[in-house]
Structure 1
Amino acid sequence: MSKKIVQVYDRPAGGWGALKSVAQQIIAQGIPAKGARTLLSANQPDGFDCPGCAWPDQDHTSTFEFCENGAKAIAAESTARRATPELIAQHTVAWLAQQSDHWLEGQGRLTRPMRYHRASDRYREIGWDEAFDLIAARLNALASPNDAIFYTSGRTSNEAAFLYQLFVREFGTNNFPDCSNMCHEPSGYAMREAVGVGKGTVLLSDFQLADALFIFGQNPGTNHPRMLGELRGAAKRGAAIVSFNPLRERGLEKFQNPQSAGEMLGDGATAISSDYFQLKIGGDLAAVKGMIKCVLEADAAAQASGAARLIDVAFIAEHTANFAAFMADVLAEPWDVIVRESGLELAQIRRAADVYMGAGKVIACWGMGITQHRHSVATIQMITNLLLLRGNIGRPGAGPCPVRGHSNVQGDRTMGIFEKPKPAFLDRLGEVFDFTPPREHGYDTVGAIEAMLAEPGKVFFAMGGNFAAATPDTQVTERALRQCGLTVHVATKLNRSHLVCGAEALILPCLGRTEIDQQASGPQAVSVEDSMSMVHLSSGINAPSSPTLLSEPMIVARLAVATLKGRSKTDWMGLVADYDRIRDKIAAVFEDFADFNARVKVPGGFHLRNTAAERLWLTATGKANFYAHPVPTDLPIHLARSGRASPVFNLTTMRSHDQYNTTIYGMNDRYRGVFGERRVLFINPDDIAELGLQAGAWVDLESLCDDGARRQAKRFLLVGYNIPRGCVAAYFPETNGLVPLSSFADFARTPTSKSIPIVLTAHAAAA
């Protein structure tokens, strides 16, 4: 066990610390030469797309197109370690389940398919044919196709996702819970209603034109480090960068670019945020509505005095609907409610509004600090309202920018991984592949867990990911999975979900993004879509970790052949012999992918059309819609605190700097000054004192919910941190069990992992 250290980190993000961390990861994985060579092919025209985040590539001719956390993901995938069936069979599943996520990750790459044997409580090798026959038999024995659930991870390529949704729909269901349900589902829902497109409207080039960038609920220094390059460039040319975040995050304060010889050798750095507002957890809607109220009040004053208007009257009249009702709602919202619920002073809100009014072109970015609240859809629509107010959508240097996580989570949804498919899409899919797709809406993530709980015996199939660790209400989710008749996980490495077995369980190892995908016609490339709707190719360069690995498209095709015998008219094996054939079918189904193969083979790929960026509004009104939302005062935290004398804290979950989603690369969180420990609770020092405790004490956490269930997470180290009083933060997945399954975003049903009412008690050490 590494030594536990808590200290103040006062260095900039990036810099020598990032380079040292990359070197340590490459050495730790036993691949010094291979790792360096592999990194140089990351995000290159003839290389592979980083398996980390979905941030786009600025310059495909640059030698270095990776960041620290991308390097960790690449090194981890390219590791010399192998989790063979023989290695895994040395331990029972019960023993493996007691090990940390970091330990499971550290066992290395899976090499051959394995089947769980309940009598011995061990996984043992199984042949590929036998595995596919088993899955097919269990699927075909179900009373209804809707008794099968098909999960998707955001690292799945466009080609694999397209084949996957085709197979599942030919099988007969729309049960597609996917990682979007747990992250940016509210972004898609809110923006489709407001502007007709569920994606951001900006390109990377817009960051070079914006006069101001507003960043909400996001920590790019850890979650999207390459974004810091764009923020650094904007700051250097004088653009305002306004950050809203409850915690002081080093990446939003100062950045030392590892690719800048001047900054590195001179130990210089670039200040990122021109203004940094530490609002309360969940206070973003109130803060943004307050900014809008400032703009409307200033505009009224300007109009009265004959000065230039501060809203874009022409844009609002031509392109928007519902403005009058929206304006009335904003002006009627009391300032005391806005100030109290935002956690900011009125002067701070006015300052943010002044920056907005003084900027000609504005980009608004947000992450999961916005999307994982009950009122997330309303918050995103309020951010969209702010942009619409001055015409900041549909012109260069301006627009909404939801920053997504997984490298192809946006592409998976584009390919049809959605439990509520549009009829037009189903019509076209059925026409191209000559079958009748199911029309009944399927399960999202919360719905899938509820269904597995209510109806034992379902088949759960996961195309990547770590479902048990990523989802809320951990004990409930694990109980749901264990009630399944069969659980199947396609994966590159062992993870927590593989140890939560149904009556039968399989692990199917697949190729990683960095590996050569050899099929009948030769080496294959797959495509991915980044956060800004750029679609480009990814080609692995490393030999497969095991000769028995299959690609995800091949796994889908072979499963389809085994399951749909005599029922499918699709030439599954012909499609996976040459992925160009898959892309031709994608082009036949989606008109935005016309000439897919030709366009994607141009270095850098191509951009998918975005109608909102063209000011073509595909909404019910035919215009961009202003949406009125009251500042909420009845959130779970309000209800939990009502009538309770003892302190109730609002907990937000977050990543450490040594993890990506549920994958734990190490035990350190360098930018927050925590080393060797993950069970920590970041809390305001004054709150520690009021509790009668000291930093370094251990506490137990218990979430508050009116469903009668008791949810606890025990033994967390108190760490004093710069965070507003009443707010606390801890890492996931360690605290996912505190999130009730019933607590999710209005309309979008995303678990509320960023706003969990909890109480703290001193931890009683076992005697």
Structure 2
Amino acid sequence: MSHDTIRKYDGPAGGWGALKSVAKHLGEQKIAISGAKTLLKANQPDGFDCPGCAWPDRDHTSTFEFCENGAKAVAAEATKFRAGPDLFAQYTVTQLAEYSDYWLEQQGRLTTPMRFDAATDHYVPVSWDEAFALVAQHLNALPSPDNAIFYTSGRTSNEAAFLYQLFVREYGTNNFPDCSNMCHESSGTALKKQIGVGKGTVSLHDFECADGIFIFGQNPGTNHPRMLGELREAAKRGAKIVSFNPLRERGLERFADPQDKLEMATYGSTKISSDYFQLKIGGDLAAVKGMIKHVLERDIEVTGNGGATLLDRDFIAEHTTGFDAFMADVLAESWDVIIEESGLDEAQIRRAGELYLSCERVIACWGMGITQHKHSVATINMVVNLLLLRGNLGREGAGACPVRGHSNVQGDRTMMIYEKPPAAFLDRLRDVFGFEPPREDGFDTVGAIEAMLDGRGRVFFGMGGNFAIATPDSDATARGLRSCALTVHVTTKLNRSHLVHGQDALILPCLGRTEIDIQAAGPQGVTVEDSMSMVHLSSGINPPASHDLLSEPAIVARLAHATLGARSKIDWLGMVEDYDRIRDAIAATFDDFHDFNTRVRVPGGFRLSNTARDRKWANPAGKAVFFACPVPTDNPIHRARRMHGTQPVFTLATTRSHDQYNTTIYGLDDRYRGVFGERRVLFANADDIAALGMKAGDWVDLESICDDGVRRQAPRFLLVEYNIPRGCLAAYYPETNPLVPLSSFADESRTPTSKSVPVIVTPHAADVGAHMPRQRDIPAAVVR
């Protein structure tokens, strides 16, 4: 193994390493001075909201509310490099496909609408009018509106998302696969049925008051770095921070706040987790059920000796249902099963349970390490069961906190980018806009891929994102997209999905969050909703990357006008002249957005209502529900191991590097895990590597195990020793997305099981990847 590729990182998360990384990325994009000025306007009332993650701002009027990964997102959008018509003239689509995702990202901002020319295998410039006419022609020629698929990424603003769903429903379908289907759909599914609201219940103020923060399946150091500021403050005042994660992650261990002058000057840092439990991948349900079992056993012991109950009996009696059956199920669960399936011993689990009992106000946080398993919904139900035991919902300093990804992924769902819209919402659309919306459920992400593969999906329209490689089963997804009559992508930069195209294909370049958006009424701002239901304005400050860019709302409005024509009662072009008109339409549709234009202009915006936070339970039971969930002992991992007998079958979790955000690759380093200049790495326990007869630095191939008869392989990964439980592996996505079967998804939510893929590991065979030449990473300057 090259010493330059893998080297130990001993520093904390954040600190000088983060500042050096920010400077490096600003420099790489040739925006060192202007980029710094842009960052200083992020998250201010007259500036733009960070286009990165959905973690809220402590003070929306501050001048330094950004983090390392937010700075990378800003640098990527504000880059001086341009991917204009000359790039597409120089390279055929086949040639572009040979380059890596990192190289594609480095080509810079798209400048011009482009149409695929099959005769030359090039993208060629097209006018906006011609592009809209082409999409309208395809849409209006379909036998049914349900033959069209409309995807949405989590960076789409509330205004664009609202217009998008309005257009598509007037067109006649509810086919709205979105990134939520692939990340926190399990959270919404579990929470909605259990507490009546599909969102988290906490605010940043609750983090100030909590004396216990329990973190499950989340790596905030890479995925939500601003969250580390809240955890740091909680740790400094003595709150217990209890982390459950298979990998040791630096952000959950130590953090140096770049905004703390003393900490930076002394090279100091703050310990984050008071306790760190390294359970095995997928072991969270068993671990939390074991904690609950300990709490109930302790309560029986204490009350049996005449002591006061350890549970919040008044809350349970008034606000919950199902407790007795739930308690019986937990007490009957075998400790042997809990220990085997969690990967923790009984003492560790009881320690975790005792930590919970020692806290008066508890917040439970989780990320995609929880949501992307076969039993994700049941796991989240179990986490909420833990909170319900002691009334840790609907009061200060306590609650449920699913930590979502992209900046407006929650807002898009609030705007009803949803394939299963409630009847009451559809009734409101009918009453406000004068058309009868479709009532049949549409395709989610898995359903959309299946529909493209079997011919039901003929047109794919992507509002942002990188669908071809963000999705599971990459080969199947690519076949589906290539079978379409038309694929369209609204985007700021070139990515893999634009090269996996239908018979006709369009790339439509749009404004970014950081850029000035001028419409007929003047400069416009858009709104976003963060992970804690705060809605606020975002107004760009940079000149557009090209004079030929349109905003996302303008693209939707012009497409609707071209497609629906005189049969629509909506003044699409008038709506987009002034985004206040869009917000008025939102206010007329959603009661929670009353006086939208007035309320959102208050610095910091406003918070949406949350029934569960107010202890009003808007679910069929009318109360919070205790759900009894058995510890899974027959999931795809168990079955794969039985199928392969003595051959080692590992559980693979896909994960991000520190130099990426979702599928966007900013660089080739993963500083906190000690990986530099390489993405095809496989993190494994040292004893597992030895048991395979291999050594760190060897190259290996991966094959996933599924009973559908399809052989899925991913070749050539570098073995890296890492602090991870035996039997568990981790590797980056999208490189490992080809291993995730399309048919393997979470019960109820249909979220792909990207965090629990059964795989076998074999020495790298050159012929395995012979048909897949290694993608090239020629420096961008070579082609500019």
TM-score normalised by L of structure 1? 0.99
- Aligned residues of 1:456 and 1:483 also touching (Cα < 8 A): no
Partner amino acid for 1:702? E
Report the 3-state secondary structure (helix = DSSP H, G, I; strand = E; otherwise coil) of the residue aligned with 1:640: helix
Partner amino acid for 2:417? I
Equivalent position of 1:577 in the other structure: 577
Question: Aligned partners of 1:224, 1:638: CA distance in 2, in Å?
Answer: 32
Question: Aligned partners of 2:211, 2:337: CA distance in 1, in Å?
Answer: 30
Aligned runs of 1:354-393 on 2, under 5 Å? 354-393=354-393
- Aligned residues of 2:109 and 2:545 also touching (Cα < 8 A): yes
Report the 3-state secondary structure (helix = DSSP H, G, I; strand = E; otherwise coil) of the residue aligned with 1:47: coil
Question: Aligned partners of 2:165, 2:3: CA distance in 1, in Å?
Answer: 46
Equivalent position of 1:43 in the other structure: 43
Equivalent position of 1:173 in the other structure: 173
Equivalent position of 1:251 in the other structure: 251
Question: Aligned partners of 2:615, 2:391: CA distance in 1, in Å?
Answer: 10
Equivalent position of 1:530 in the other structure: 530
- Aligned residues of 1:213 and 1:242 also touching (Cα < 8 A): yes
Question: Aligned partners of 1:173, 1:89: CA distance in 2, in Å?
Answer: 37
Instruction: Find out whether 1:508 has 2:508 as its counterpart.
Output: yes
Partner amino acid for 1:690? A
Deviations 1:562-601 (A, max 9, x none): 0001110001111100000100010000000000000000
Equivalent position of 2:649 in the other structure: 648
Equivalent position of 2:230 in the other structure: 230
- Aligned residues of 2:685 and 2:721 also touching (Cα < 8 A): yes
The verdict on how the C-alpha distance between 1:234 and 1:138 changes in structure 2, with shifts beyond 3 A counting, is same
Question: Aligned partners of 2:376, 2:532: CA distance in 1, in Å?
Answer: 21
Deviation of 1:256 (Å): 0.5
Deviation of 1:89 (Å): 2.1
Deviation of 1:60 (Å): 2.1
Question: Aligned partners of 1:528, 1:337: CA distance in 2, in Å?
Answer: 44
Report the 3-state secondary structure (helix = DSSP H, G, I; strand = E; otherwise coil) of the residue aligned with 2:658: coil
Partner amino acid for 1:579? Y
Equivalent position of 2:412 in the other structure: 412
Instruction: Find out whether 1:275 has 2:305 as its counterpart.
Output: no
Question: Aligned partners of 2:95, 2:456: CA distance in 1, in Å?
Answer: 25
- Aligned residues of 2:29 and 2:80 also touching (Cα < 8 A): yes
Aligned runs of 1:159-170 on 2, under 5 Å? 159-170=159-170
Partner amino acid for 1:6? I
Deviation of 1:246 (Å): 0.1
Instruction: Find out whether 1:12 has 2:40 as its counterpart.
Output: no
- How many residues are aligned here? 766
Question: Aligned partners of 1:43, 1:713: CA distance in 2, in Å?
Answer: 40
Equivalent position of 2:559 in the other structure: 559
Aligned runs of 1:77-116 on 2, under 5 Å? 77-116=77-116
Equivalent position of 2:776 in the other structure: none
Question: Aligned partners of 1:89, 1:476: CA distance in 2, in Å?
Answer: 29
Aligned runs of 1:595-744 on 2, under 5 Å? 595-643=595-643, 644-744=645-745
Deviation of 1:3 (Å): 8.9
Question: Aligned partners of 1:63, 1:511: CA distance in 2, in Å?
Answer: 23
Report the 3-state secondary structure (helix = DSSP H, G, I; strand = E; otherwise coil) of the residue aligned with 1:397: coil
Equivalent position of 1:193 in the other structure: 193
Equivalent position of 1:761 in the other structure: 762
Which 5+ residue runs of structure 1 have no aligned equivalent?
none
Deviations 1:700-751 (A, max 9, x none): 0000000000000000000000000000000000000000000000000000
Report the 3-state secondary structure (helix = DSSP H, G, I; strand = E; otherwise coil) of the residue aligned with 1:255: strand
Question: Aligned partners of 1:683, 1:245: CA distance in 2, in Å?
Answer: 15
Equivalent position of 1:22 in the other structure: 22
Equivalent position of 2:294 in the other structure: 294
Partner amino acid for 1:671? Y
Deviations 1:619-643 (A, max 9, x none): 1111000000000011111101015
Deviations 1:129-180 (A, max 9, x none): 0000000000000000000000000000000000000000000000000000
Question: Aligned partners of 1:657, 1:411: CA distance in 2, in Å?
Answer: 25
Question: Please, what is the CA RMSD of the aligned residues?
Answer: 0.9
Out of 532-541 and 298-307, give the one that drifted further.
298-307
Out of 464-473 and 637-646, give the one that drifted further.
637-646
Aligned runs of 1:304-383 on 2, under 5 Å? 304-383=304-383
Report the 3-state secondary structure (helix = DSSP H, G, I; strand = E; otherwise coil) of the residue aligned with 1:451: helix
Out of 736-745 and 637-646, give the one that drifted further.
637-646
Deviation of 1:62 (Å): 2.2
Partner amino acid for 1:455? G
Equivalent position of 1:129 in the other structure: 129
Partner amino acid for 1:646? Q
Question: Aligned partners of 2:41, 2:374: CA distance in 1, in Å?
Answer: 41
- Aligned residues of 2:43 and 2:63 also touching (Cα < 8 A): no
Off by >4 Å, runs of 4+ in structure 1: none
Report the 3-state secondary structure (helix = DSSP H, G, I; strand = E; otherwise coil) of the residue aligned with 1:151: strand
- Aligned residues of 2:668 and 2:676 also touching (Cα < 8 A): yes
Question: Aligned partners of 1:206, 1:692: CA distance in 2, in Å?
Answer: 50
Question: Aligned partners of 1:501, 1:406: CA distance in 2, in Å?
Answer: 25
Aligned runs of 1:145-164 on 2, under 5 Å? 145-164=145-164
Report the 3-state secondary structure (helix = DSSP H, G, I; strand = E; otherwise coil) of the residue aligned with 2:136: helix
Report the 3-state secondary structure (helix = DSSP H, G, I; strand = E; otherwise coil) of the residue aligned with 2:612: helix
Deviation of 1:303 (Å): 1.1
TM-score normalised by L of structure 2? 0.97
Deviation of 1:4 (Å): 4.8
- Aligned residues of 1:3 and 1:675 also touching (Cα < 8 A): no
Partner amino acid for 1:541? I
Equivalent position of 2:750 in the other structure: 749
Equivalent position of 2:213 in the other structure: 213
Report the 3-state secondary structure (helix = DSSP H, G, I; strand = E; otherwise coil) of the residue aligned with 2:613: helix
Question: Aligned partners of 1:496, 1:3: CA distance in 2, in Å?
Answer: 31
Deviation of 1:457 (Å): 6.4
Identity of aligned residues (%): 73
Deviation of 1:86 (Å): 1.6
- Aligned residues of 2:299 and 2:310 also touching (Cα < 8 A): yes
- Aligned residues of 1:149 and 1:176 also touching (Cα < 8 A): yes
Report the 3-state secondary structure (helix = DSSP H, G, I; strand = E; otherwise coil) of the residue aligned with 2:718: strand
Which 5+ residue runs of structure 2 have no aligned equivalent?
771-784
- Aligned residues of 1:649 and 1:727 also touching (Cα < 8 A): yes
Report the 3-state secondary structure (helix = DSSP H, G, I; strand = E; otherwise coil) of the residue aligned with 2:537: strand
Deviation of 1:456 (Å): 6.1
Question: Aligned partners of 2:119, 2:572: CA distance in 1, in Å?
Answer: 36
Deviation of 1:306 (Å): 1.1
Question: Aligned partners of 2:724, 2:636: CA distance in 1, in Å?
Answer: 20
Deviations 1:637-686 (A, max 9, x none): 11010151111100000000000000000000000000000000000000
Deviation of 1:61 (Å): 3.0
Question: Aligned partners of 2:317, 2:701: CA distance in 1, in Å?
Answer: 55
Deviations 1:171-217 (A, max 9, x none): 00000000000000000000001000000000011000001000000
- Aligned residues of 2:451 and 2:457 also touching (Cα < 8 A): no
Deviations 1:331-390 (A, max 9, x none): 000000001100001111111111100100000000000000010000000000000000
Question: Aligned partners of 2:519, 2:726: CA distance in 1, in Å?
Answer: 57
Question: Aligned partners of 1:386, 1:4: CA distance in 2, in Å?
Answer: 45
